[in-house]
Structure 1
C-alpha cells in the first residue's frame, strides 16, 4: 500500500479519475431528470439515452482495441477525455438558448460514448504500465473507492445543482471534470514503451481476430468477460428505472433522490476499502463470485421502498448491493488484467468491452420497456432477483474456480 502512495503517476491518474467520477455521477442524476421532468419521458426514453451512450462500443469497439495496441495509451486517453468534455457541454450549451430535446440528449450521450470507447480501452493497459503487478489489486480497489466516493457525492451534488441551476446546466460539472482528468493524465511523466509492431503488417482483421481468439481460448478470461457482461446488463436495466421509480412511485424531490442515491452508494466505498484484503484472504476467484452471491438478495429491498420513512429501504438495499458489487468488480478487473498479456491487453479489453456494450444498451432498453409494461417497482424487483440467480449460478457452477491468473503469451497475436 505504501508503494502506491509514493507512486506519483498513479496518484495523478487516481486524482483525475476521482474528480471525473464525481462529475459523471452528477450527470447520472441530471440527464434523467431533464428527460423525465422537463421532457416528460417514459422509462423507455431514459433507456434509449443510456443505450445511445454504449452503442458506439458495440459498433467500433474491436477496431478501437487494435488502435490502442498500435498507439500510445496516454495520448489516446487525453484526446478522448477532451472529446467527452465537449460532448457533455452540448447539453448546457443548448439549455443556454432554449430547452434541450430528446434528440439533443441522445446525441450528447452518443458522442460521449464514442470518445469513451477509446478512453476505457486505453485505460486498463495504461494502468498495468503505471502500477507494478504486485500492487494491481490494491490500485483497482483505490480506483473503485474513488468511483464509490463519486457515487456518494455526485448524486447529492447533482441534486443540489439541479435545484440551483436546472438539470441541463448541472451537466456543466461533468464536462469540466473530463477536462480536469485530461490535465492530470497529461502530467504523468512515466515513460511509455513504443507500441509493438510486427513485420509491417497493418491489416485490421487479423489483429482483431487475434484479440477475440485470445480471449475465447483462455477459460478464465472468457468467464470473467461473460460474467461482467451479464452483471452490467442487469445493472443497466435497473438503472433505467431507478430514477423514474423514485420520482413517480416514491414521490421524491430531486434533492431527496440525490441523498438517497448518495447514502446507498456509500456501500461501494466500504467495499472498496476492504476489497484488497478480501481478495488476499479468499483469492480473486472466490471473491468475485462470493461477494455478489452474499449481498445481492438484500438488494431486493430497493424495490420495496415507499413514501416517507419507507424510502430508506432503497438506500439500505443499494448500500448492501454496491458493497458486494464493488468487491466483486475489483476481483473481476484484476483477474482480467493479470490473465492477459500486455502486448494484447488493449484488444482483450476491447473484446470484453464489446460484450458489455452489447448487453448494456439491451439492458437499458429492456429495463425501460419492463418499467413501462410492468411498472417501475415490479420491473426493479424482477431485475435484481435475476441478479441474485446469476450470482448463485456463478458460485454453484464453479465457473471461476480452478483457473490460474498467469497471462498466456498470444500465440498468433498480430500487434500491428
Structure 2
C-alpha cells in the first residue's frame, strides 16, 4: 500500500524511473571496467584501483553540496548527467595496457559527477516525495540498484567479453539521456535558493556543523565511517576470492555481484517496513551486523560459503543505505540538504577510499582471508556501537517522558 501511494504521484514515477535507467548503465560499467583493467594488466590490485579512483573525488563532496544548495536542483542534475555521459565516452580511446590511465581518469570524473548527482538527487527527492514516503522511495531506489546487479554486471561482463569495453561505455553514456528527459518533464516548481549569509567557507562547513550537533546523525556517521574503513577491502578482495579462492576467471566476479543483487531482493523491499517498525538506527545496526557475517563467510575457499556471504552482504546494504539516507533527509532542513548529504558522504567516503587503496596494496602480501576477517571484526564493532547508542538514547527519552508525565 505504501509503494502504491508513492507511485501514484506523477513526478515521483518520472523521477524514480529515470534514476533506475541510469543505474542500469552504471551497474554494467563499474564491473566491466574492473574486469577490463584486470585483463589488460593481469593485476587484482590494478583492478581494485578502479573503485579507488571512483571514490577518491567524493572527497570534494563538501564543494558539491555547497553548489547543490546554491542552485535549483533540476537544471543542475540535467547538466551533470550530460557531462557524465560525455566523460564516459572517453573510454573509446582505451586500446591497451598503456591506456589504463584513461579508465582511471573516467572513473575519477564519474566519481566527481556522482558527488554532485548524489547530493542533488537526495535533495530533489525530499522535495518531490512527502517525508512519510521517503523510506519507501529510498528503499525502491536501493532495491532497483541492487536488483540490477542481477542483470547489469552479468550483462556488462558478458557484453565486455562479446563486444568489448567500448560498447559498454557507449551503453552507459546512452542511459544518462533517460533521466535527463524525465527531469525535464517534472512539474515541480523549485523554490529560489536562499542567499548566502556568511563567507563561502563557513557556508561550506555548515553541513559538517549540523552533523556534529545532531546526535542521531553523528552516531550513524561514526558507525558508518568505522565500518567503511574496512568495507573498501571487499572491492579488491573480490578478485582474489574469485581467482585464488575459487580458481575462476575474472569475469566470474559478475556472478558474485549478481548473487549480491539477489540478496538485495530481500533486503531492499524490507528496508522501509523495518524502518517504520524499528527506526533508522536499529536497521542500520542490523545491516552492519549482517554485513560482518557476510564478509566472514567469504573467507573459506568454498563456493557455497562464498555465495552465502555475498548474498548476506547484499541483504545488508539496503538496510544500511536506506536507513542512512532516510534519517539524513528527515532530520535536515531543506536549505541544508545538499551540504549535509555531502558532509556525511565525505566523512564516510574518506575512510572507504583509504581502505580501498590499502586493500589493493595488502591483498598480495597478507592475502584476502586476513582482509575479510578484519573487515568482519571491525564492522561487527561498528554495529555494536550503533545499537548500544540507540538503546541509550531510547532510555534517555523514556526517562524524559516519565519525568514530564510526573
If the length of structure 1 is used for normalisation, what is the TM-score?
0.88
Residue aligning to 2:402: none
> For residues 71 and 214 of structure 1, do their structure 2 counterparts lie closer, same or farther at Cα, with a shift above 3 Å needed?
same
Shift of 1:219: 1.0
> For residues 283 and 347 of structure 1, do their structure 2 counterparts lie closer, same or farther at Cα, with a shift above 3 Å needed?
same
> For residues 290 and 257 of structure 1, do their structure 2 counterparts lie closer, same or farther at Cα, with a shift above 3 Å needed?
closer
Residue aligning to 2:278: 282
> For residues 87 and 251 of structure 1, do their structure 2 counterparts lie closer, same or farther at Cα, with a shift above 3 Å needed?
farther
Residue aligning to 1:94: 93
Residue aligning to 1:120: 118
Query: How many angstroms apart in 1 are the aligned matches of 2:364 and 2:13?
Result: 44
Query: How many angstroms apart in 1 are the aligned matches of 2:243 and 2:178?
Result: 32
CA contact (8 A) 1:81 1:116 kept: no
CA contact (8 A) 2:282 2:386 kept: no
Q: Structure 1 stretch 214-223 or stretch 240-249: which is displaced more? A: 240-249
Alignment pair present for 1:33 and 2:10: no
Query: How many angstroms apart in 1 are the aligned matches of 2:283 and 2:338?
Result: 25
**1:218-233 pair list within 5 angstroms:** 218-233=214-229
In structure 2, list runs of 5 or more residues that go unmatched. 398-406
Query: How many angstroms apart in 1 are the aligned matches of 2:155 and 2:250?
Result: 11
Residue aligning to 1:318: 310
CA contact (8 A) 2:290 2:313 kept: no
Shift of 1:50: 2.0
Query: How many angstroms apart in 1 are the aligned matches of 2:72 and 2:366?
Result: 48
Alignment pair present for 1:357 and 2:355: no
Alignment pair present for 1:369 and 2:361: yes
Residue aligning to 2:338: 346
Q: State the Cα deviation string for residues 41-72 of structure 1 (Å, max 9, x = none).
A: 342x23433222222221x3222222111101
Alignment pair present for 1:107 and 2:105: yes
CA contact (8 A) 2:31 2:156 kept: yes
CA contact (8 A) 2:260 2:315 kept: no
CA contact (8 A) 2:298 2:306 kept: yes
In structure 1, list runs of 5 or more residues that go unmatched. 405-416
Q: State the Cα deviation string for residues 17-62 of structure 1 (Å, max 9, x = none).
A: 212222211123211111111222342x23433222222221x322
Residue aligning to 1:394: 386
CA contact (8 A) 1:39 1:101 kept: no
CA contact (8 A) 2:135 2:322 kept: yes
CA contact (8 A) 1:30 1:171 kept: no
Residue aligning to 1:10: 12
In the comparison of the two structures, how many residue pairs are matched?
A: 394
Residue aligning to 1:64: 64
Query: How many angstroms apart in 2 are the aligned matches of 1:228 and 1:10?
Result: 29
CA contact (8 A) 1:33 1:167 kept: no
Which SS does the other structure have where 1:188 is aligned?
coil
If the length of structure 2 is used for normalisation, what is the TM-score?
0.90
Query: How many angstroms apart in 2 are the aligned matches of 1:168 and 1:279?
Result: 41
Query: How many angstroms apart in 2 are the aligned matches of 1:241 and 1:172?
Result: 28
Residue aligning to 1:257: 253
User: Considering only aligned residues, what root-mean-square deviation do their CA atoms show, in Å?
Assistant: 2.3
Residue aligning to 1:409: none
Query: How many angstroms apart in 1 are the aligned matches of 2:169 and 2:145?
Result: 18
Q: Aligned match of 1:24 in 17, 23, 26?
A: 26
Shift of 1:140: 1.0
Q: State the Cα deviation string for residues 152-186 of structure 1 (Å, max 9, x = none).
A: 21111122112211245423332222232222222
Query: How many angstroms apart in 1 are the aligned matches of 2:146 and 2:24?
Result: 9
Residue aligning to 1:161: 159
Which SS does the other structure have where 1:319 is aligned?
helix
Query: How many angstroms apart in 1 are the aligned matches of 2:222 and 2:177?
Result: 33
CA contact (8 A) 1:223 1:400 kept: no
Which SS does the other structure have where 2:363 is aligned?
helix
Which SS does the other structure have where 1:171 is aligned?
helix
Which SS does the other structure have where 1:101 is aligned?
helix
CA contact (8 A) 2:291 2:376 kept: no
Alignment pair present for 1:333 and 2:335: no
Which SS does the other structure have where 1:372 is aligned?
coil
